Amino acid sequence: MKKVITYGTFDLFHKGHYNILKRAKEYGDYLIVGVTGETYDIGRGKLNVHDSLATRIENVQNTGFVDEIIVEEYLGQKIGDIIKYDIDTFVIGDDWRGKFDHLSRYCNMVYLERTKGISSTQIREETFDQYDIGIVFDYPDDNQIIKESKLVNGFEVKNIYCEDKKVLDKFLEKYDVENVCESYSEMVENSDIVYVRGEIEKRYSYIRKALVAGKHVIYDPPATFKEHELEELFDLAKKKNVILMKNIKMVHIYVFNQLLWMTQGGLIGDILSFNCAISKYDINRSNLFYDLSVYTLIPMLKIMGQDYEKFDYIVKKDGENVEFASMNFVYPKARAIITVGNKMRVDNQLEIIGTEGTIRMKNDWWKSRNFEIHTPDSTDVQVYNTNYEGNGFKYLIREMSNLLANNRIDSRRIFEDESLTIIRILDKIKKVKN
Ligand code: CTP
């Protein structure tokens, strides 16, 4: 019996898929199809797949050409499959020509001509809503949203607005955006989603205007130092039925969710200590301290909770600019220390000590692809990791896409009370006089 294998995502099943499966079967007696798993697709940056794995499998099965379906779960699985299933011929469309030549050591390698004029990408573009993103900024970079949003179907940065002509020119040297708006109102009007990326003092009013206009908003937190203003923004978003999402990419990344699961599910025992540090210096951003602080406070509040009994701090300021702060939170049975250096240099790291294990994330932990668990009674180190490229913005956009598809406005990754606690903490630091 001659066995043939082929692979694909088979999203929004179309004629091209049907044809390749039909022709693949003609190369043998038994056809195996590897359909890509969701985690594998996400890991390789394919975030725009519409149909669930179950639907895609069902569609492949319904062609009647397929004898067995397997799930492609990781990069490099194909060679193992060829050996395991004793494959004679590997078939794939000629969009992959040359890419799989190395497989000819294991079996016959056949590239088949693609059916012209159709693809899942094309169907997705024609079928689903398109969301135009507008960015309002005070810094000459886009935080990678232009590139990363394109990776999620239906999202694209189309509009920008910047008050400062020099910053705008610098931005335009690097990025190509369709519409450079003359005013913020014009940008809001032309966009479905507004990304607010500016000085903290301006964020609240930019966000408010966009929400009043009924637009979804992504913003770099903190939005404000005033609790009542943040509450007002939350209420406004609800009233207008739009999404108001913090740009904290970390909470959308697999490895962070694994970390959360481990710590919340008691997998490292009772937590005794949470230690987290971050530092960055950017001469052009005077209030960077507060942005950095949010990055440390979110994991702390998510992992340790909000019922700390005492909060004290040491703050070093130069005028209004916070150069360094060490914040100490005393919980009933644990302690958290957060260190943020704006000018002062601090080693970026995150360490959580539990009675049954210690978790460590080194270097830029907030965008880390892995963490280690050291068990107390052995020298054994387990590493949990994930694979992703870019800075993770695409995962945040994908979350937005899911929310829009489900008609939801709250993402449940960061809760309102957590955001309000952060504002109260930051406000205390802001009021410190040196
Ligand atoms: N295929 C084909 N003709 C097409 C589209 C796809 O022969 N018009 C083949 C591919 O070459 C591959 C298989 O079908 O061997 C599965 O392809 P898949 O990537 O799932 O489909 P695409 O339509 O190419 O998807 P996308 O646009 O997301 O890349």
Report the SS3 class of residue 287: coil
How far apart (Å, rounded) are the C-alpha atoms in residues 209 and 213? 6
Is residue 75 a contact partner of residue 426, using CB atoms and an 8 Å limit?
A: no
Residue 316 CA to ligand 1 centre (angstroms): 58
| CATH fold of the domain at 254-387 | Dihydrodipicolinate Reductase; domain 2 (3.30.360)
Token pair, residue 224, equals: 């404000």
The amino acid present at 287, given as its one-letter code, is: N
CATH code for residues 122-248: 3.40.50.720
Report the candidate in 286, 276, 372, 367 with the shortest Cα–Cα distance to residue 329: 276
Q: What is the pLDDT along the chain (434 residues), one digit of tens a residue?
A: 999 999 999 999 999 999 999 999 999 999 999 999 998 998 887 888 999 999 999 999 999 999 999 999 999 999 999 999 999 999 999 999 999 999 999 999 999 999 999 999 999 988 888 999 999 999 999 999 999 998 888 899 999 999 999 999 999 999 999 999 999 999 999 999 999 999 999 999 999 999 999 999 999 999 999 999 999 999 999 999 999 999 999 999 889 999 999 999 999 999 999 999 999 888 778 789 999 999 999 999 999 999 999 999 999 999 989 999 999 999 999 999 999 998 888 999 999 999 999 999 988 899 888 999 998 877 789 999 887 778 889 999 999 999 998 999 999 999 999 999 999 999 999 999 87
What phi, psi does 123 have (nearest 5°)? Answer: -65, -40
Structure-block tokens of residue 425: 């903490």
| DSSP type of residue 10 | -
Q: What is the DSSP string of 82-122?
A: HHHTT-SEEEEEGGGTTTTGGGGGTSEEEEEPPPTT--HHH
Could you tell me how many helices (H) and strands (E) the chain has, helices first?
14, 19
Mutate to test the pocket of ligand 1, among 9, 32, 65, 103 (most ligand atoms within 8 A of CB): 9
- Per CATH, the number for 3-117 is 3.40.50.620
Domain boundaries, the chain: 3-117, 122-248, 254-387
Q: Pocket around ligand 1: residues whose beta carbon is below 6 Å from it?
A: 8-11, 16-17, 20, 92-93, 95, 114-115, 118-121
Do 404 and 129 form a contact (C-beta atoms < 8 A)? yes
Pocket probe mutation, ligand 1, options 66, 94, 114, 121, max atoms within 8 Å of Cβ: 114
The answer to whether domain 122-248 and domain 254-387 are alike in fold is no
Sequence-distant (≥ 6) Cβ neighbours of residue 205 within 8 angstroms: none
Enter the tokens of residue 267. Answer: 């997998």
- Shortest-distance Cα residue to atom 12 of ligand 1: 93
Whole-number mean pLDDT of the chain? 94
* Distance of alpha carbon 182 from alpha carbon 177, whole angstroms: 14
- Choosing from 23, 119, 127 the residue with most ligand 1 atoms within 8 A of its CB, the one to mutate for a pocket test is 119
Q: What is the pLDDT of residue 200?
A: 95
Distance CA 146, CA 135 (A): 9
* Tens of pLDDT, residues 218-244: 999 999 999 999 999 999 999 999 999
Distance 6 CA to ligand 1 centre (A): 11
List the residue whose alpha carbon is closest to atom 23 of ligand 1. 119
What is the reported pTM?
0.90
- Ramachandran region, residue 200 (left: φ > 0; alpha: ψ -120 to 50; beta: rest): alpha
- The protein residue whose alpha carbon is closest to atom 17 in ligand 1 is 8
Q: What tokens were used for 259?
A: 């970390």
